[in-house]
């Protein structure tokens, strides 16, 4: 069985969201990747000179979606209705799904189902041109930041679930450095622009302190 997991290890959970090449957002993404390469994550998340904050948040949100998509894709074999009948982050935290439109009243469901709902919902937001305009000169909507905050708050829950329930699988697949770097980048980003309420981050508080204190 372990062979099959390794073979399937590079699939993504949902299709990757591509930023059109040659677009300004693509340039921004390249800038982000270049500064990330320097290894200084605090610097990598800072808004580049003269750039629009909405656009910077949009590009990074798409990037985090793609990263989490890939990270969760590597461990889907370990996250099943049986292993994870509820969407939890350790014994104290449980998440129920509602998106406000299709499912108004929060429902209790398994982790794989919750994450499927969540990633499909995020994908729908990212694909919505009125929310995430990909064309130059098309303005971001007034409510863009609040939508981005909701997306990031929900993406955080996938990290929290992976860390709490599947870290042994991550280690078995030797993905922990990849997961830690991705999560650290994510946390530095949301801290830089104050995008997730502190109480939402509590399930990974100890880890956040550990990953961020070394770099103050």
Contact 73, 80 (CB under 8 A): no
Contact 13, 76 (CB under 8 A): yes
Q: Is 96 annotated as a binding residue?
A: no
| Nearest of 57, 169, 59 to residue 111 by alpha carbon | 169
CA triple 94-96-100, angle to 5 deg: 150
Q: How far apart are CA 150 and CA 22, in angstroms?
A: 28
How far are the Cα atoms of 1, 9, 13, 184 from residue 6, in angstroms, in the given order? 9, 5, 15, 25
Q: Is 166 annotated as a binding residue?
A: yes
Contact 95, 117 (CB under 8 A): no
Tell me which residue has tokens 């999560």. Answer: 183
Measured in whole angstroms, the distance separating CA 20 from the mean position of its chain's CA atoms is: 20
As annotated, the binding site includes 79, 84, 161, 166
Name the binding residues for Zn(2+).
79, 84, 161, 166
């Amino acid at each position: 069985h372990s062979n099959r997991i390794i073979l399937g290890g590079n699939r993504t959970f949902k299709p990757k969201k591509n930023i059109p090449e040659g677009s300004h957002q693509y340039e921004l993404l390249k800038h982000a990747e270049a500064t990330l390469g320097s290894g200084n994550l605090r610097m990598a998340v800072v808004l580049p000179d003269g750039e629009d904050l909405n656009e910077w948040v949009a590009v990074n949100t798409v990037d985090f979606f793609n990263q989490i998509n890939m990270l969760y894709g590597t461990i889907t074999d370990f996250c099943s209705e049986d292993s994870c009948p509820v969407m939890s982050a350790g014994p104290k935290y449980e998440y129920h799904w509602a998106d406000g439109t299709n499912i108004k009243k929060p429902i209790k469901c398994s982790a794989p189902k919750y994450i499927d709902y969540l990633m499909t919902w995020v994908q729908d937001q990212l694909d919505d041109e009125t929310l995430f305009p990909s064309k130059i000169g098309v303005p971001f909507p007034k409510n863009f930041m609040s939508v981005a905050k909701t997306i990031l708050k929900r993406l955080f829950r996938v990290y929290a679930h992976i860390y709490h329930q599947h870290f042994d699988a991550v280690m078995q697949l030797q993905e922990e450095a990849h997961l830690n770097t991705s999560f650290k980048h994510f946390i530095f980003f949301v801290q830089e622009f104050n995008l997730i309420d502190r109480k939402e981050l509590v399930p990974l508080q100890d880890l956040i302190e550990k990953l961020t204190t070394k770099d103050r």
